[in-house]
Amino acid sequence: MEQLFALVLPENGFIWAPKLQLLSTTLYSMAIEKILKDDASEEKGERARMASFVGAIAITDLVKTTLGPKGMDKILQSTGRGHEVTVTNDGATILKSLHIDNPAAKVLIDISKVQDDEVGDGTTSVVVLAGELLREAEKLVAAKIHPMTIISGYRMASECARNALLQRVVDNKENAEKFKSDLMKIARTTLSSKILSQDKEHFAQLAVDAVMRLKGSTNLEAIQIIKKPGGSLKDSFLDEGFILDKKIGLGQPKRIENAKILVANTAMDTDKVKIYGARVRVDSMSKVAEIEGAEKEKMREKVKKIMAHGINCFVNRQLIYNFPEELFADAGILAIEHADFDGIERLALVTGGEIASTFDNPESVKLGHCKLIEEIMIGEDKLIHFSGVEMGQACTVVLRGASHHVLDEAERSLHDALCVLSQTVNDTRVLLGGGWPEMVMAKEVDELARKTPGKKSHAIEAFSRALVAIPTIIADNAGLDSADLVAQLRAEHHKEGCNAGIDVISGSVGDMAELGISESFKVKQAVLLSATEAAEMILRVDEIITCAPRKREDRM
Amino acid sequence: MALAFDEYGRPFIILKEQEQKTRLSGLEAQKANISAGRAVSRILRTSLGPKGMDKMLQSPDGDVTITNDGATILEQMDVDNQIAKLMVELSRSQDYEIGDGTTGVVVMAGALLEQAERLLERGIHPIRIAEGYEMASRIAVEHLECIAQKFDFGPTNIEPLVQTCMTTLSSKIVNRCKRALAEISVKAVLSVADLERKDVNLDLIKVEGKVGGKLEDTELIYGITVDKDMSHPQMPKQIEDAKIAILTCPFEPPKPKTKHKVDIDTVEKFQTLRQQEQKYFDDMVQKCKEVGATLVICQWGFDDEANHLLMHQNLPAVRWVGGVELELIAIATGGRIVPRFQELIPEKLGRAGLVRERSFGTTKDKMLYIEHCANSRAVTIFIRGGNKMMIEETKRSIHDALCVARNLIRNNFIVYGGGAAEISCSIAVEAAADKYPGVEQYAIRAFADSLDAVPMALAENSGLQPIETLSAVKSQQIKENNPHFGIDCNDVGTNDMCEQNVFETLIGKQQQILLATQVVKMILKIDDVISPSDY
């Protein structure tokens, strides 16, 4: 049977199709007329299941090596123009970039994406767990256990595992001091598997500070990340104010104290008359000049109206043409043009102003305030820095690093950490890390297996084996003797209230509470539930019908 | 191919480009058609029942669908054969008419075809078979009416309805939380049902899905969700006792549709036009404000200036709302859709107790909830789930459950599920067969045999011994003269479907039998297939 399928890796490596080539399509369509279209294929029963197992397990094996603090990175080269290169060990990013033909593999990629959207971290774990569940299921199916029986066993097991976690969670919501240290631990744990692990202390502090400023909101929009190549990762910093990646207009003040800011979204080029689709049509040059004068006058009036707000800084989303810019410069007002939409929204959020588009009632427009606006230099670039802002929610993280690849990866890592932290602020329950939760779940699930009569118990047992696979992989990736370590761990966990997990740094079993390795309960729960759901979905399939691929014109 | 020759041995050309066409005729054609139909039904056979398996379908664009809903499978299967297409149609019409039992009807048709093939081999004319089937189906449908039971429920007593919906949902992947989903479906249907006219307009129930969260987070919203957010980021996110102006005119400078030309040739004209423009925006917003609206929902976009004016006047607004959603909002809030600002009057405003914006997850997805509407006839079922496929499948399952609930409100007679109704019909048809003289008798007996196909497939999918189980249940039904016995798929220990609370609607079952018979009759009547051969 093994020879029937093989991973096909064409030159570019990313398009591969573990699909069973049906050697004898005619076998079961002997008497029947062909009912599907020409290129459509159909796989049934055992073969279909085999195809989905192979696909899912192949995906798992692909991302497996990135799991854990000693996980390896992958290089991804895009097929698009320029063959851009991404270096990452973020599961979701890797899987997103793959072009996959196997339907079961697509299911796994899907859950990883959802995990990324929903909780932000654990994208690799969810795929690995689902893959391990399928690997175990494959053995059970080979032992002639019906997939439906396996599914109901898995369901019981996942419910039991979730309860086991619920019993062991720590919730430090009441104690602000302790909660903060929890957050620090989680941030460190998350970051330790990423490129930032060298400076995890620094970045953990940075991420926790940023998230604490959000005061419970999960809107990560308010945290701006600016990437500037140059310097080292350690030079990255969190700025309490707001940094806009724009230049200050010529001849305008470079530094304003006690700034009053008007945030606007209005046309500051030739302000057209939009009504009735009117257009200019004249018969002499002098009239053109007159109208031009009127136009200028109109702009001047608009600028005057804007200035009537008593501002000394004007930020516009759209372009500001030379003429109004000059007017602003004359009045000593700092005018910033072409701040993009996000920038405007954030700036409005930060300074507490409203985004204005009409300027007739200066008294009712809320202006933004900040203590100081100045031009700063980061590396080679000039940026505008707003400090001492009214609303303390937003902040900016400036990332420095050797190259774009490093910065991109650093941003992804930081994003993961920020996501997890902001979710944890909402759901304050915390667990230990380092394979501890998996061992706790595995133990409870094992117990359940022993109590359950019938064939289901095999499936429940298999579930526990799949859970144990995760610490095994973490140890393997760190180059440790996984069999020995996991056995030790299992023995430790037989005691009540044990905190043992894998300490990858020293290569032994250690106390996770002492080492300060924590994980968010919400992430673990999402991993557990989505992985089970995905495995179940794939297991239920007994037939794969592939439609003929849509014909594309050959662009080559 | 049968060809006619003239006296010199040259073939007559009857059809255009005859030699390039393939032709099947007579018994051969019927057999080919039957086997194509059976092939389709064989694909669906394993999806039947609570323990049925799913199919994974990959579309031409590479999207994956996992489902065990018969209609969906066939719809996406990219079928080429003409007869197979008929089967697809069959399942689709069951879906439109009843909404559930789409798999069952195809399995049934497949079984009828299988029996017909045997009769054909014995030399019975296809038309006689078709007639026999017709008679038998009439007997079966009448018998169903005899064994159907009236089913009592009311707005306060929804338990029976929930039980029926649970039967439908138990065969889907969502059966983990079938209870919750069944309750949601029933409540949704009841809140839009017109109990006096016994009608339910399913258009009033909107099924929305958003990836993320758990299946358990699925909720029923007495109101409407719109996948949009406020037009200005600083508008209030929550409005109580909202008065809603529903507009289909844009907050944009007017552009008369008739052909026109406005030329600016003097400075004065330029200035007057400018002032007019400003006044126009002011007027629009003022008009909304005057009639007392506290929320503006608009089908079109806003000009930046208008947007700010709205914000300035503290009038939250939503833009780019689709036409269907707009209509739903109008129905739910009791408002009128206003196509022109001039026509805006206080009576045309819709009312809602609470309008709020909610965000999900770490991405900045936002949705607008409009709740406690003045006329809360429109409801939304909001599905959450692990991934897109899961949500799509849940949507399909909820659709089935909604249809079942609706059918019960239309006609509150039920029959028992789990194959019980089919077995009972089979017994009745078998008994009736002897009364018919002539060849049709055989066809009627064959019909009785094919009715057994559904319970047989159920038993097979549940891992039971199909023949043994079926004969045991059948003898039990005859012995105790009780049509409640069916296949015990979930291994509960009893095969009394009354105790297991497994119901199906009477009209659903009747429709299944009638539709399947019709299609089979049609297929049997074909005796010549001419198709262009491949080139």
CA distance A233 to A230: 9
Amino acid letter, B459: A
Is B358 an 8 Å CB contact of chain A? no
* pLDDT band at residue B84 using 50, 70 and 90 as cut-offs: confident
Whether residue A34 is predicted with pLDDT greater than 70 in this model: the reply is: no
Mean pLDDT in residue range B404-415: 83
Question: Do residues A476 and A504 touch, judged by C-beta distance below 8 A?
Answer: no
Residue by residue, DSSP assigns B37-64 as: HHHHHHHHHTT-STTPPEEEEE-TTS-E
Helix-helix angle B102-121:B126-147, to 10 degrees: 140
CA distance B460 to chain A (A): 12
* Mutant choice from A32, A291, A318 vs B, greatest count of B C-beta within 10 A: A32
Question: Do residues B52 and B461 touch, judged by C-beta distance below 8 A?
Answer: yes
Whether residue A12 is predicted with pLDDT greater than 50 in this model: the reply is: no
Q: What is the pLDDT of residues B437-451, one digit of tens each?
A: 888 888 999 999 999
Contact check, Cβ <8 Å, B46/A534: no
Q: What is the pLDDT of residues B216-234, one digit of tens each?
A: 778 888 888 888 877 776 6
Share of chain B above pLDDT 90, in %: 9
User: Which pLDDT score is estimated for A18?
Assistant: 40
Q: Among the options B72, B103, B167, B505, which is catalytic?
A: B103
* pLDDT band at residue A455 using 50, 70 and 90 as cut-offs: confident
Instruction: Establish whether A416 is a catalytic residue.
Output: yes
Contact check, Cβ <8 Å, B214/A422: no
* pLDDT band at residue A184 using 50, 70 and 90 as cut-offs: confident
Share of chain B above pLDDT 70, in %: 90
Chain B residues with CB under 8 Å of A265 CB are 304, 308
ipTM over 0.90: no
Is B255 an 8 Å CB contact of chain A? yes
Q: Which of A34, A279, A419 is nearest residue B263 as measured by Cβ atoms?
A: A279
Residue with token string 């299944």: B512
Contact check, Cβ <8 Å, B263/A280: yes
Instruction: Establish whether B67 is a catalytic residue.
Output: no
Mean pLDDT in residue range B137-148: 91
A15-19, A471-475, B149-153, B412-416: which has the minimum mean pLDDT? A15-19
Contact check, Cβ <8 Å, B78/A36: yes
* Mutant choice from B57, B64, B258, B460 vs A, greatest count of A C-beta within 10 A: B64
* pLDDT band at residue A187 using 50, 70 and 90 as cut-offs: confident
User: Which pLDDT score is estimated for A7?
Assistant: 42
Whether residue B425 is predicted with pLDDT greater than 80 in this model: the reply is: yes
Is B322 an 8 Å CB contact of chain A? no
Whether residue A361 is predicted with pLDDT greater than 70 in this model: the reply is: no
* Mutant choice from A276, A316, A422 vs B, greatest count of B C-beta within 10 A: A276
Closest B-chain CA to A148: B51
CA distance A377 to chain B (A): 31
Q: Among the options A86, A124, A189, A472, which is catalytic?
A: A124
Q: Which of A52, A273, A361 is nearest residue B274 as measured by Cβ atoms?
A: A273
Average pLDDT, chain B: 81
Residue A23 burial (CB count, 10 A): 8
The answer for B 82-141 residues in CB contact with A (under 8 A) is: 83-84
Higher pLDDT, B342 or B214: B342
What's chain A's Rg over C-alpha atoms? 30
Q: What is the pLDDT of residues B6-52, one digit of tens each?
A: 777 776 666 666 666 677 777 888 888 888 888 888 888 888 877 78
Closest B-chain CA to A426: B361
Contact check, Cβ <8 Å, A110/B274: no
Instruction: Establish whether A342 is a catalytic residue.
Output: no
Chain A residues with CB under 8 Å of B58 CB are 103, 544-547
Closest A-chain CA to B306: A357
Chain B residues with CB under 8 Å of A533 CB are 215, 385-387, 390
Is B260 an 8 Å CB contact of chain A? yes
Amino acid letter, A220: L
Whether residue B316 is predicted with pLDDT greater than 60 in this model: the reply is: yes
CA distance B429 to chain A (A): 30
Q: Which of A117, A221, A275 is nearest residue B276 as measured by Cβ atoms?
A: A275
* pLDDT band at residue A21 using 50, 70 and 90 as cut-offs: very low
Contact check, Cβ <8 Å, B389/A537: yes
Structure tokens at A65: 């090596």
User: Which pLDDT score is estimated for B132?
Assistant: 92
> If we measure between CA atoms, which residue out of B433, B431, B440, B477 comes closest to residue B455?
B477
Give whole-number Cα distances, A214 to A221, A271, A435, B175, in Å.
Answer: 10, 39, 30, 39
Is B23 an 8 Å CB contact of chain A? no
Contact check, Cβ <8 Å, A273/B255: no
Q: What is the pLDDT of residues A489-517, one digit of tens each?
A: 888 888 877 888 888 878 888 888 888 88
> If we measure between CA atoms, which residue out of B340, B292, B345 comes closest to residue B314?
B292
Instruction: Establish whether B102 is a catalytic residue.
Output: yes
User: Which pLDDT score is estimated for B74?
Assistant: 85
Domains of chain B (ranges; CATH) run 18-148+420-462+505-532 (1.10.560.10), 223-375 (3.50.7.10)
* pLDDT band at residue A85 using 50, 70 and 90 as cut-offs: confident
* Mutant choice from A34, A275, A551 vs B, greatest count of B C-beta within 10 A: A275
Mean pLDDT in residue range B179-201: 83
Contact check, Cβ <8 Å, A419/B362: yes
* pLDDT band at residue B111 using 50, 70 and 90 as cut-offs: very high
Contact check, Cβ <8 Å, A529/B36: no
Q: What is the pLDDT of residues B503-525, one digit of tens each?
A: 788 888 898 999 999 999 998 88
Contact check, Cβ <8 Å, B66/A537: yes
pTM of this structure: 0.77
Q: Which of A31, A275, A544 is nearest residue B56 as measured by Cβ atoms?
A: A544
Whether residue A342 is predicted with pLDDT greater than 70 in this model: the reply is: no
Closest B-chain CA to A294: B267
CA distance A501 to A517: 9
Give whole-number Cα distances, A53 to A466, B19, B165, B389, in Å.
Answer: 15, 48, 33, 18
Contact check, Cβ <8 Å, B39/A281: no
User: Which pLDDT score is estimated for B501?
Assistant: 77
